Amino acid sequence: MEQKSSAKGKGAKKVAYYGIAAALWAVAGTAIVAEYMSSSDAQPKSGSAQRKGDGPFGLDLSMPISELQYDEKESSLGKHLYALKAVPAPSSDFTLYAVNALPDAGICEVYARSSEMEGDSLGISVRAAADRVAAALTTKYGKPNKIDKCVGGDIFCAPENWSMSVMNGERGYAYEWQKVEKSTSIRSVALAVATTNLAVPFVVLRYEVNDKAKCEAASKADDAKNL
């Protein structure tokens, strides 16, 4: 169900993206990614660098970290996050691809990030881009839950401050497909609008692989190594 609302007054709770913001911003919100994206020679291209499979963007989700072709200078973007040099089947809607991968589990999440949409303070272009990607994903994964909500009061929820309210965490515009039934390799999909620290919007997409328990166990085991 689509959700829209506006709340006035102090103390209004920030939009929480219903559990997806933290994971999405792990890639989309880092300065490292923004710097990576600004380099014209860092744009991933199609090719045979990654092993082909039936996962998102043609990736083989069973591929171990040792076989990943990633940018060592830019990785890890965060713990267990790697910026890929290329993907077998890139999308024209995205310019950066990354994976969350662990030694004992392989690829656990796949991320994609669009280019930044300069001058889109009203959020018109970025919403159109998100809606276009969501429509394509709907044909594959079924109807999503759409989140379109602002809790920033009249000023930040005003149309002219659309992108600014996203940056401040007071507006959420996202789609989520939970417990995907049409795929044997993907557990959930999340698509959201995010911004740079200058309120320039872009779209970020996350796929979560089906074997979540294996990934969680591998993450805990890896964390325990540092104790």
- Secondary structure of residue 115 in the 3-state scheme: coil
Residue 17 zone, left/alpha/beta (φ > 0; ψ -120 to 50; rest): left
Q: Read off the pLDDT of residues 108-117 as tens digits, 9 standing for 90 and up.
A: 999 999 999 9
- Within 10 Å of residue 198's Cβ, how many Cβ atoms? 11
pLDDT at 20: 40
Structure tokens at 219: 């993450």
**Coil vs helix vs strand at 14:** coil
**Cβ neighbour number for residue 44 with a 10 Å cutoff:** 22
pLDDT at 77: 53
Residues of the chain with confidence (pLDDT) below 70: 1-49, 72-79, 181-183
What's the confidence (pLDDT) of residue 189?
92
Query: What is residue 105's predicted lDDT score, i.e. its pLDDT?
Result: 84
pLDDT at 205: 93
pTM over 0.85, yes/no? no
Give me the pLDDT at residue 110, please.
92
At 116 the pLDDT is: 92
Q: For position 114, what pLDDT does the model report?
A: 92
pLDDT of residue 195: 87
Give the pLDDT score at 163: 93
In whole angstroms, what is the distance from residue 42 CA to residue 106 CA? 24
Question: What pLDDT was estimated at residue 169?
Answer: 84
